[in-house]
Amino acid sequence: MASYDSAPGLMLDGVAPRAALCERSVAESPAAEVWATIRREAVEAAERDALMGPLITAALLRHASFADGLAARLARKLADADVGGAALTGLIAEALAEEPGMVQAAATDLVAVRDRDPACPDLVTPFLFFKGYLALQAYRISHFLWQRERQHLARHVQSRASEVFAMDIHPAARLGCGILIDHGTGLVIGETAVVEDDVSILQGVTLGGTGKQCGDRHPKIRRGVLLGAGSKVLGNIEVGEGAKVGAGSIVLDEVAPHTTVVGVPARPVGPKLTDLPALTMDHMLPAPEYAI
C-alpha cells in the first residue's frame, strides 16, 4: 500500500500511520506516462499558438520529469520576496525526491481533473492553469513540511497558496489522491479534516469546526463523495463513502454512505446512490418530496 504520509505516532481514525489515505500503487498512477502525454500535448499546443511557445518551453519542455516540471511550476506560482523561486524549486524538488508517492498522487489528481471536469480538454491545461489542481499540490508540499516539524515554512507555503489561489488548506489536514478541486475559490479545509481518495469538491466549500474546540474537530470525508458548490460541513462528523452534498447545504450531522443530503440544515433526500457521485459529477438532486 503506497503512502507518502508517515508522521511518526500519528493515528488516523484508529488506523496506523502508514495505512494512510492514498492507496493507489505506483503502477496505477504512472507519473512517467502522464508526463509523456503532457509533453506531447504541449508540443501540439505550441504549434497551434506561437505566443504560447516560451511559456510551454519554460514550464514543460525543458524539464525531464513530472517531478521536475511540477517543482518548477509550483515555485513559479508561490515565489515571493520572502522565499524566492530558486529556493522554492529546490525545496519542492527535494520533497518530491524524498517522497515519490507525492509525485504519483499529483499525477493521479491530474488525471482525475481531466476525466471529471468537462471544461478540461487535456492534461496540459490543469497543470499550467487550474488553481484547484495547483493549490492541492501546494498543500502536499506544506503537509510534507508540517510532518517534518518545519511548521513555519509549511505555514509560509500555505499562506502563499491562499494568497495566490484563493483557497486555504491547513498543512495538517489529511488528503488522499484522485481529488478534484473544481474552481476552488473560497475553499477552506481545517486542521484535522480528512479527505479520502476520489473526492470531488466545488468552489466555496468549507470543511470546518463548530467553535473554539481543540483536538479532532473537523469533518471526515470518505471516498467518492461529491461536495457541491458552497456547501459547509462542520464539526467532527463523517460524510460516508459515495455520498452527495447538495450545493449550498450546511451539514451538521453524520451522512450515511451513498446518501444525498441537501438543505439548511442538510437532510437526506431520495434513494440510495448506486455509484460514486464524485466520479459521475452528477449534481442533480431528487425531486422534492414536498411543495411550498
pLDDT tens-digit profile of 229-276? 999 999 999 999 999 999 999 999 999 999 999 999 999 999 999 999
Other C-beta atoms within 10 Å of 44: how many? 12
Q: Which residues pair with 26 in a beta bridge?
A: none
Strands 260-262 and 267-269: antiparallel
DSSP H helices, the chain, are 31-48, 53-56, 66-78, 85-98, 100-116, 124-129, 131-147, 151-165, 277-280
pTM over 0.95: no
The predicted pLDDT at position 286 comes to 81
Split at pLDDT 50, 70, 90, the class of 198 is very high
- For cell 518545519, the residue is 150
Q: Flag whether pLDDT at 1 surpasses 60.
A: no
pLDDT tens-digit profile of 36-79? 999 999 999 999 999 999 999 999 999 999 999 999 999 999 99
Q: Average model confidence (pLDDT) for the chain?
A: 90
Q: Flag whether pLDDT at 213 surpasses 90.
A: no
The predicted pLDDT at position 21 comes to 56
The predicted pLDDT at position 288 comes to 64
* Gap between the Cα atoms of 180 and 267, Å rounded: 25
Q: Is 188 in contact with 214 (CB distance < 8 Å)?
A: no
Q: Flag whether pLDDT at 186 surpasses 90.
A: yes
* CA distances to 74, 238, 275 from 226, in Å: 26, 13, 11
The predicted pLDDT at position 212 comes to 86
* Gap between the Cα atoms of 52 and 16, Å rounded: 47
CB burial of 103-135 (b: ≥16 within 10 Å; e: otherwise) equals: bbbbbbbbbbbbebbeebeebbbbbbebbbbbb
Q: By percentage, how much of the chain surpasses pLDDT 70? A: 88
Other C-beta atoms within 10 Å of 86: how many? 10
Q: Which residues pair with 2 in a beta bridge?
A: none
- For cell 450546511, the residue is 250
Domains and CATH numbers, the chain: 21-166 (1.10.3130.10), 186-292 (2.160.10.10)
Residue-level length of the chain: 292
Residue 270: name the closest of 240, 252, 233, 245 by CA.
245
pLDDT tens-digit profile of 103-152? 999 999 999 999 999 999 999 999 999 999 999 999 999 999 999 999 99
Q: Is 153 in contact with 90 (CB distance < 8 Å)?
A: no
How is 214-258 classified by DSSP, letter by letter?
Answer: -SS-S-EE-TT-EE-TT-EEESS-EE-TT-EE-TT-EE-S-B-TT
Where residue 224 falls (left for φ over 0; alpha for ψ -120 to 50; beta otherwise) is left
